[in-house]
């Protein structure tokens, strides 16, 4: 197998891999541990009635979006603006016994 060259820049490395197969350099590559975490999206039902619902629809239409996408965007924006919150450790079950 070929010896993996040292690259002077990401551009040089990119150009190299455009014309070479990584299979030729497999033995010279370091082993890495990669773990993928796949999460399923979850739906959160939210009841919105009356004028707030009508307002959501008008805003979504004006933006060329669906109400669902608009609400998701707003929730993500709000979450991004919130400071991190630590999850408190659970107290032992007997702590509240009286």
**26-83 pLDDT, tens digit each:** 888 888 888 888 888 888 899 999 999 999 999 999 999 999 999 999 999 999 999 9
Task: Report yes or no on 73 lying in a domain.
Answer: yes
Task: Report yes or no on 72 lying in a domain.
Answer: yes
Domain containing residue 65: 50-80
Domain count, the chain: 1
Q: What is the pTM of this model?
A: 0.49
Q: Residue with structure tokens 């975490």?
A: 37
For residue 96, pLDDT over 80 is answered with no
Task: Report yes or no on 36 lying in a domain.
Answer: no
The full DSSP string for 1-37 is -PPPPP-SSHHHHHHHHHHS-GGGGGGGSPP------
């Amino acid at each position: 197998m070929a010896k993996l060259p040292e690259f002077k820049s990401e551009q040089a490395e990119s150009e190299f891999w455009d014309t070479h197969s990584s299979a030729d350099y497999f033995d010279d590559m370091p082993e890495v541990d990669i773990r993928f975490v796949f999460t399923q999206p979850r739906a959160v039902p939210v009841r919105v009635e009356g004028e707030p619902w009508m307002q959501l629809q008008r805003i979504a239409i004006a933006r060329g979006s669906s109400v669902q996408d608009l609400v998701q965007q707003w929730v993500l924006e709000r979450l991004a603006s919130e400071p991190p919150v630590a999850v408190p450790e659970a107290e032992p079950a007997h702590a509240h016994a009286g």
